[in-house]
Chains A and B, each alone.
Chain A
Amino acid sequence: MSRLSFAAGALLALCCGGTIAQTAAEGIERYRQMIAEGNPAELFEAKGEDIWKQKRGPKRASLEQCDLGLGPGVVAGAYAQLPRYFKDADRVMDLETRLVHCMVTLQGISDADAKRNPYSTPERPSDMESLVSFVTAESKGVKMNVALSHQKEREMYQIGEKMFYYRGGPHDFSCATCHGEDAKRIRLQDLPNLTNTKDAQRAYTTWPAYRVSQGTVRTFQWRLFDCFRQQRFPALEFTSDASIALTTFLAKNANGGTLAAPALKR
C-alpha cells in the first residue's frame, strides 16, 4: 500500500507536511508536478471527443465538419490561431463562440440552447467544458500564433487592450491592477504579470485547465468571467464581443508560447 497515492488528500499532505523550509510557491509547484501525469482533464478530453463525433440536435449531425479556422474538420493546431475572423459569420470568434456557431449551423441547435450551460456545477456537467478540452488538447505543443491579419481582428485587439487597462466597478479595479506588476498574488496564488511576454505566454497557454478545487475543466471564457466577478464588474456575458476582445488581446500577447492546455491548476 505504500505506493498508493490519492490525488487530493495524500498529495496535499505530502507537499505541505514535507520540508518545512519549502516556500508555499515551491510546494504548490511540486504538487503541480506530482499530479501533472494524472491530470483529470484527460477524462474530459475523451468525453469531448465523443460529444464531437456524436450526431446531435434537430439535424442529427456531428461537429466533425466544424471549421475552426483551418478548414472543416481540422482540429489539430486550430486553437493556437484563435480568436480569428470568420467570413461565414462576419465576426471575430474565440473557440467557445465558434463551437456555439457550429452547434447552431451544423446541428440546428438554438443559439440559446447552445449557450445554456457553459460552466458546470458538480450536479450538472457541461458539454462545453468537455468539447473545449478535446479541441485544445489537439493543439498541445503547438506555438500560439494569432495573426491579426484582418482589420476586425485588429479592432478587437485594440478594444481588448482598452478593457485590460480600464478601471471601474466599486473597487475601481482594472485587469492591470492585479496583472500589471510582478510578484502580485491572491492568497497563495501567484498572479502572472500579463504585460510581460513570458508571464503572458505561460498564463494563456495553460488555459483551459482542470481546477482541482472545483473538480472540473474551466474554459478561458470562464477565466475571464470569474476575473470580472472578482473585480465586481457586471457579469461577463458568455461569448460576448467584450469577452472575445479581451481574449484576442491576451492570446496575441502570448504569441510564440507553446500550448500546454488543458493544464492542471490548484
Chain B
Amino acid sequence: MADPMKIRAAMQGDKVEVKVLMSHIMETGQRKDAKGANIPAHFIQNVTAVHNGKTVLAAQWGPAVSTNPFLSFRFKGGKPGEKVQITWTDNKGDKRTDEATISG
C-alpha cells in the first residue's frame, strides 16, 4: 500500500491553486544494484485531478520525473469548501487516491 499524498488546495483570486506531494520511489529502470542487475522500472504513469466529478487535469508521466514528485497546477471554477481528488497509477498497477478541501 502506497503512502498518502500531501495535498494543499487554496483559492488564488478566481482560480484554485493545488499543490501535491506524492510519495513514490520513481525508479527509472536504468539503474543497477550492487550486484550489477537492473533495478526494474517503477514509476507513476497517470495522474488525474477531479473536482465535482469533472476531470480538471490528466497527465501522463514517465521515468524522468523525480523521486517523491511535487505537482502544482491551477484550475477555474472551484469554490472554498469543495473537494479536489488526486489519483495516481503506476506501471505496476499500484494506485493511490487522496482528497483535499479547498481553503479560502
Contacts and interface: CB of A to CB of B under 8 A. Distances in A.
Interface string B39-65: 100000000000000000001010011
B67 interface: yes
Contact of A6 (B19, B23, B25, B71): B71
A6 to B, nearest CB: 5
Interface of B: 3-4, 6, 19, 21, 23, 25, 27, 33, 39, 59, 61, 64-74
B27 A4 contact: no
Given A46-B6, A123-B33, A215-B66, A5 B21 contact: no
A122 B72 contact: no
B74 A3 contact: yes
A43 B73 contact: no
Given A3-B74, A38-B72, A47-B3, A9 B19 contact: no
Interface in A139-196: none
A43 to B, nearest CB: 5
Report whether over half of chain A's contact residues are helix, strand or loop; otherwise say mixed: loop
A122 B68 CA distance: 12
Q: Is chain B's interface secondary structure helix, strand, loop, or mixed overall?
A: loop
Given A4-B73, A6-B69, A37 B64 contact: no
Contact of B3 (A8, A39, A43): A43
Contacts of A7: 65-66, 68-70
Residue with the highest number of chain B CB atoms closer than 10 Å, among A6, A35, A212: A6
Given A42-B6, A47-B3, A37 B66 contact: no
B75 to A, nearest CB: 9
B33 A4 contact: no
A-B residue pairs, 7 tightest by C-beta:
A8-B66, A38-B70, A215-B67, A40-B68, A7-B70, A7-B66, A43-B23
Contacts of B68: 7, 40, 43, 215
Contacts of B66: 6-9, 212, 215
Given A3-B74, A4-B59, A42 B21 contact: yes
A35 B6 contact: no
A4 B58 CA distance: 11
